[in-house]
Structure 1
Amino acid sequence: MNSPKTIAPRSESRKLLSLPTRQAEQLFQSYEKQQQLEILSATRNPKSREKLYYLVPDCTELIQESPTEDVLQVLDTMLGTGLASALLPCLSNEQFEELLDIAVWRDGKLDEESLDLWLFELSECERDDLGRLLRELDIRLLAALLHGRVTLQDLHSSMLLEVGYLDPSSPAIDYADERSRAICNAIWEADDEIFRTFIRELFAIDTEGDVEAELAAAFDAVQADRAARVAARDKEAGIDVTEADLIERVDLESLMLDDDEDDNGTDK
């Protein structure tokens, strides 16, 4: 059996990006999968990497075998456009969980604006795909984020919920904005039981005597679970520097990461 032809991944990336689409597809699909992954890894511009993913009929395998950080860079360029919904379903459950653990936290704290954008992208997914991904999302986090934007009018709402009469169009639910309404509609269409769990979490927050304390407790619990997952992944990967250590030792703002490097250019 002949061994795969040796390639220079960065040079091949430039060649592929310079070719007409049909020729690029034929060439990229002629490579072994490992070679395709090497080319993708060598392509540091996220938008260029996205173009390469689309050179195969179904990029699910390539995305699932790519580092989560590399996939996140690609998805991050699409946030807020609805276009990320085309690639999100390609993620494995484990990748999606890891992606959120990276993408919606800053210095160990929840980035609510980022989470809101990711929820919007999720709401644009096909409902079967959304249902699968929602099962990897901590519903407490969703409830804490949307608290105040999705409100139950009165305590009778819980009775409607328990007998199955509460859905996103119910007059018992008020929405502060159209995005929160769209997110709730998408959750309901994808998995009505997850929607009911979400409403129960909202109701639990609202019925506490000290709502702010309950919200803080919810965030703390989610943060602790996330920290445990990150620590477990680091241990499995043999990483002994914690996220807190990294923040303490490295001034991330001072790092010049040339993610916008032109992959069609020449080596420096």
Structure 2
Amino acid sequence: MNNLTVSEPQIESDTLLSMPIAEAELVFQGYPTNKQLEIISATRDPRKREELYYFVPDCTELIQLSSTEDMLQILSTSLGTGYASILIPCLSSDQFEEMMDIVVWKDGKLDEKSLDIWLFELSLCDDEDLSQFLYRIDIGILASMLRGRFEINSDFLALMIESGTIDPSSKEIQFKDERSKHILDAVWAADENLFTRLLYEVFGLDKEELTSELSTSLERAKEERDQRVEERDRRMGIQVTEEQILQTVDLKKIDLKDDKDE
């Protein structure tokens, strides 16, 4: 019968996990970062590996120095329970992007079930941690997660977004679930400019559409103004339209004189 070879870091891990928590924290924090990572990596059980991260006051650095595969293993054990929300904000933007490429995309399409689980976990993150995390990650990744989960009811969508007249509490925004609203709230809290960029990404808008909407808006404003003028003229019994007056009279050729010159 072959005996499994147990590495020194693995023995260290078993020893630490068998100690009282306060004592284990003291010992683990006394190790240099590279040794802490060796011990974590040598721990095969993802749940036990997760425990080791909590032996330091702030595990962000250790998490971001760990492999994406190791972190995904740990998160996968608690996805859908709400507990993954504790570690997600500690991920680097590259780690999060790699994870989304692995778990959210299948055969070139978004896996709605997996996406919903990750949005659930994100929505349960601490507000401040979530705001900082969303500020770090690629805006395109976040947009792909939120696309189709809320709508903005406006004929001039790009203009509304660019002018900054819309925020998560605006009546024009209709959310399909509270998770999406919570995440948009966090983006807004992190940075209003980030919120604007996110909306552009979600709805696939660009500056050309903004110019087009501006032109359409001006045309509509002119039409509405013409209707008001026509309605006033009708009430006053004026038969000649403003346009006809301008065509008949060249205002540039009118020589206005002061009363003193008469």
Q: TM-score, normalised by structure 1?
A: 0.64
CA root-mean-square deviation:
2.6
Q: After superposition, where does 1:87-236 map in structure 2 within 5 Å?
A: 87-123=87-123, 124-127=125-128, 130-139=131-140, 141-204=141-204
Structure 1 residues 100-159: Cα deviation after superposition (integer angstroms, max 9, x where no partner)? 3333233554323323332333342444653454443343x5445434430111313433
Structure 1 residues 13-32: Cα deviation after superposition (integer angstroms, max 9, x where no partner)? 11221221112112222333
- What percentage of residue pairs aligned between the two structures are identical? 53
- The corresponding residue for 2:65 is 65
- The corresponding residue for 2:20 is 20
Cα distance in 1 between the residues matched to 2:134 and 2:175? 23
Code of the aligned partner of 1:84: A
Cα distance in 2 between the residues matched to 1:117 and 1:178? 13
1:78–1:189 CA distance, 2 compared to 1 (3 A): farther
- The corresponding residue for 1:38 is 38
Structure 1 residues 23-57: Cα deviation after superposition (integer angstroms, max 9, x where no partner)? 21122223333222221111111111111111112
Q: Is the 8 A contact 1:78 1:84 kept in 2?
A: yes
Cα distance in 2 between the residues matched to 1:137 and 1:156? 26
Cα distance in 2 between the residues matched to 1:107 and 1:119? 20
Code of the aligned partner of 1:170: S
Cα distance in 2 between the residues matched to 1:30 and 1:135? 30
Which structure has the larger Rg over C-alpha atoms? 2
Name the count of aligned residue pairs: 198
Q: Is the 8 A contact 2:43 2:49 kept in 1?
A: yes
SS across alignment from 2:151: strand
Q: Is the 8 A contact 2:119 2:145 kept in 1?
A: no
Q: Is the 8 A contact 2:68 2:95 kept in 1?
A: yes
Structure with greater contact order relative to length (CA < 8 Å, sep ≥ 6): 1
Structure 1 residues 185-204: Cα deviation after superposition (integer angstroms, max 9, x where no partner)? 22222222222223233444
For structure 1, which runs of at least 5 residues remain unmatched after alignment?
A: 1-6, 206-268
- The corresponding residue for 1:235 is none
SS across alignment from 2:154: coil
Q: TM-score, normalised by structure 2?
A: 0.65
Code of the aligned partner of 1:113: K
- The corresponding residue for 1:256 is none
Q: Is the 8 A contact 1:128 1:190 kept in 2?
A: no
